[in-house]
Amino acid sequence: MSTDDRPLIQATGLTKNFTRGAETIHVLNRLDLEVPRGEFLALMGPSGSGKSTLLNLVGGLDRPTEGAIEVAGERIDDMSGGRLAQWRSRHVGLVFQFYNLMPVLTAERNVDLPLLLTHLSKRERRAHVEAALKVVGMGHRARHYPRQLSGGEQQRVGIARAIVTDPTLLLCDEPTGDLDRKSGDEVLNLLQALNREQGKTIIMVTHDPHAAARASRVLYMDEGHLSTEKPE
């Protein structure tokens, strides 16, 4: 199989347990997942079903108890902490439900934050920031602070921050969960455009069937397993 034919993400036998006092909580149970390059995948399921845990494992924010994760041909589950941090900065863009913008920084400076970990010059960083803000339609709000932006505008800045390094993978955890329907639809339109026009691979955790319908594939999480069928 050629490199282009291989799944971008291949997770095999993923198990994730947490310990709380004397109790072991089994969140993921020998889960397998393949995500082709360029797919827009939605993960649905009840709270506590393991959706965000799986997202964190794929993004290298956490490690599995057992199992292997390969992204773009690299095993990430056994990387050292320092190497994994470098890998994340190159390959992963994160979009959060509550935006996670720094309130004391303008939109453009929030978007610039991931570039501080690169070797780009100040001029090159500025060009990347301007391009990312333009993509999300927020170039005219570059010097506004988060408190001066609506929720939808803040989320678009959050998406600009996620794409400014041109990552391999966008991971979105309830990206419309704090937005009204109109603002949520604008964010979903943007994610679809990034997927279709720029070929971005996107995994989105959502509770909202309206949001999930925008994805090219939907998987359902229940009791640590994935299924194409919605659980009863």
What is 39-60+86-227's CATH number, 3.30.450.20, 3.90.1330.10, 3.40.50.300, 3.40.50.2300? 3.40.50.300
Residues contacting residue 216 through CB under 8 Å, at least 6 positions apart: 39, 40, 41, 195
The Cα–Cα gap between 162 and 95 comes to 6
Residue type at 163 in one-letter notation: I
Sign of CA dihedral 85, 178, 54, 73: negative
pLDDT of the chain, 232 residues: tens digit per residue: 445 678 999 999 999 999 888 899 899 999 999 999 999 999 999 888 899 999 999 999 999 999 999 999 999 999 999 999 999 999 999 999 999 999 999 999 999 999 998 889 999 999 999 999 999 999 999 999 999 999 999 999 999 999 999 999 999 999 999 999 999 999 999 999 999 999 999 999 999 999 999 999 999 998 888 998 887 6
Whole-model pTM? 0.93
Are the C-beta atoms of 67 and 123 separated by less than 8 Å? no
Residue type at 79 in one-letter notation: M
Residues contacting residue 196 through CB under 8 Å, at least 6 positions apart: none
